[in-house]
Structure 1
Amino acid sequence: MPKVTTKDIVEKFGLELISGGEGINRPITVGDISRPGLEMAGYFDYYPAERVQLLGKTELSFAEKLDPYERKNRMEKLCTDITPGIIITRDMEIPAELIEASERESVPVMRSPQQTSRFSSRLTNYLESKLAPTTAVHGVLVDIYGVGVLITGKSGVGKSETALELVKRGHRLVADDCVEIRQEDENTLVGRSPELIEHLLEIRGLGIINVMTLFGAGAVRSVKRITLVMHLELWDQNKQYDRVGLDEEKMTIIDTDITKLTIPVRPGRNLAVIIEVAAMNFRLKRMGVNAAEAFSNRLTEAIHEDVDHDEF
């Protein structure tokens, strides 16, 4: 199923459908839109027919100056079998040649009262959001002091129980069990919960609880940018865990690298507090305060001082 169709933008922006209604369910596959100025002048060599076409005052006033034959020819070339739709802004009058061509090729022609630049910006933002690459990850997403922390790990390791403790400590749940992730920009991942399980937590032995009902609206949020991954795994005594924090592991989600910390789980460890402190420490690092580097530098200086002292 297409993510966005022409019908979706008609309903979203309250557009007036003028002609070409048979193609109202055409899919929109790219987030970019086109203002066919060069095409109106007759240059169709690189016409991006797969984009939504936006005609404003500039394009239509130019079309009025063309002779009837040229205007008909340009309008017919604008309407292809893959063009999702043509939108006229400012409630301007639509050329009869465009209406005829759109009816023949079933290309929806729509009209908006908004200014061209403003409508272009709104439509672009909407399409980029809807058409962004998406994936789903098994885990829990929590907003901790403004840091979007994705908690991952095998089933039964304690992700949901840790999230419950974090909520009790004043943080906000975004998603449990399944996190839908959308890449909105080159380095921006945004997570949310599937609608079916939004605000719900599954605790083994207790069942499903509604976090918003129990803890209030301040304990949940709908979406959150993901900036840190905390991976929980059962303690392996044969594995060497990072004890200083100088090495930074990365996890790739879609095309974005996210900082990943691996936390060993064993009885007696308060995972909620550890994750909470990890989120605060991550914020400090982004502000330029790195305790591990500062310790390493002091240690190096101390070693050099001892070496210099021994030489004398």
Structure 2
Amino acid sequence: MAKVTAKELIEEFDLELVNENDDIVFRAITTSDISRPGMEMAGYFTYYPAKRIQLLGKTEMTFFSQLSDEDKKDRMDRLSTYDTPGIILSRDMEAPPELINAANEVGVPILISKITTTRLSSQLTTYLETQLAPMTAIHGVLIDIYGIGVMITGSSGVGKSETALDLVRRGHRLVADDSVEIKQEHDGVLVGSAPDLIKHLLEIRGLGIINVMTLFGAGAVRNYKRIGLVIHLELWDQKKQYDRLGLDEEKMKIFDTEIPKITVPVRPGRNLAVIIEVAAMNFRLKRMGINAAQQFTERLNDVIEDGDKEEY
């Protein structure tokens, strides 16, 4: 399971740790949901989401300041549990002693941010969703072609990396070669990147490993890209019937998301880079509502219908 620690939040958002024990910053955060415990401050803990980060803003702390000493201690004791990954105070507010004592007792990190509550909540949610998103790795190449993230898959030796090199020479940008790490950041959104070890590198049989950024410049690479299209390369099979109109739409399912997939047969004489480039452009046209295959089919049907009418 993916996780983030309070230490990472401190480094990312420049937070201040209130606790004296530095070891508690390694407590795991496993959900991207943020809780603002307004109802809990009023004493309602029936549905308290203890496993979320608790964000205390000016509203919560103003209400807390009006409570009796007994209620203050009760609220903070119940707010700080062994499951609570962290409590953050926004607007550079000072942590009350009741909170410090309760948090230290169970090892909950107390963090202070100078950012406003709403802005901090938005930034935390975005960061945690990215870091905690489910991830998988797929053997293939990811290229940014005209703004479309195109993942090229196929068996080893079919020519994925060589095609990627040709596409980079034509002005497109490499994201990952050989292994594409894919995260589902939101429903229907898959983002691919390269493992740090092989970032910006291409392996070409006969040449070895080349650094694309060094050879072609920083404009030839990018660190991540949303995946919009999958193109699967396979050796030409004379017995197989390939789609010649483009009406059949295949899908590749990754996590809960289905991505359009095109199967391209490979044989000598076919310029794969040009084919994939045109496939990306045609995919953009389809998203704009222009489907050449559909238009051709409709025109063909019209011709057939007109021919039938002339016979009568």
Q: With structure 1 as the length reference, what TM-score do the two structures score?
A: 0.98
CA shift in 2, pair 1:175/1:106, >3 Å: same
Specify the code of the residue in structure 2 equivalent to 1:9: L
Task: Spell out the pairing of 1:144-183 with structure 2 (5 A cutoff).
Answer: 144-183=145-184
Specify the code of the residue in structure 2 equivalent to 1:142: I
Contact 1:4–1:28 (8 Å) recurs in 2? yes
Tell me the distance in 1 between the aligned counterparts of 2:140 and 2:165: 13
Tell me the distance in 1 between the aligned counterparts of 2:148 and 2:6: 36
Q: Percent same amino acid at aligned positions?
A: 66
Number of the residue aligned with 1:139: 140
Task: Spell out the pairing of 1:270-289 with structure 2 (5 A cutoff).
Answer: 270-289=271-290
CA shift in 2, pair 1:170/1:30, >3 Å: same
Tell me the distance in 2 between the aligned counterparts of 1:90 and 1:186: 32
Number of aligned pairs?
311
Task: Spell out the pairing of 1:226-237 with structure 2 (5 A cutoff).
Answer: 226-237=227-238
Specify the code of the residue in structure 2 equivalent to 1:13: F
Q: Could you tell me how far 1:239 is from its partner in structure 2?
A: 0.7
Q: Could you tell me how far 1:34 is from its partner in structure 2?
A: 0.4
Tell me the distance in 2 between the aligned counterparts of 1:44 and 1:133: 30
Give the gaps of 5 or more residues in structure 1. none
Specify the code of the residue in structure 2 equivalent to 1:73: D
Task: Spell out the pairing of 1:173-252 with structure 2 (5 A cutoff).
Answer: 173-252=174-253
Q: With structure 2 as the length reference, what TM-score do the two structures score?
A: 0.98
Tell me the distance in 2 between the aligned counterparts of 1:149 and 1:172: 10
Number of the residue aligned with 2:82: 81
Tell me the distance in 2 between the aligned counterparts of 1:141 and 1:19: 44
Contact 1:20–1:107 (8 Å) recurs in 2? no
Number of the residue aligned with 1:48: 49
Contact 1:20–1:106 (8 Å) recurs in 2? no
RMSD, aligned CA: 1.0
Specify the code of the residue in structure 2 equivalent to 1:156: G
Contact 1:230–1:263 (8 Å) recurs in 2? yes
Tell me the distance in 2 between the aligned counterparts of 1:212 and 1:89: 41
Tell me the distance in 2 between the aligned counterparts of 1:266 and 1:39: 66
- Asked if residue 291 in structure 1 is aligned to residue 292 in structure 2, the reply is yes
Specify the code of the residue in structure 1 equivalent to 2:12: K
Tell me the distance in 1 between the aligned counterparts of 2:99 and 2:216: 57
What SS class does the counterpart of residue 55 from structure 2 fall into?
A: strand
**1:3-26, Cα deviation, whole Å (9 max, x unpaired):** 311111012111111126342111
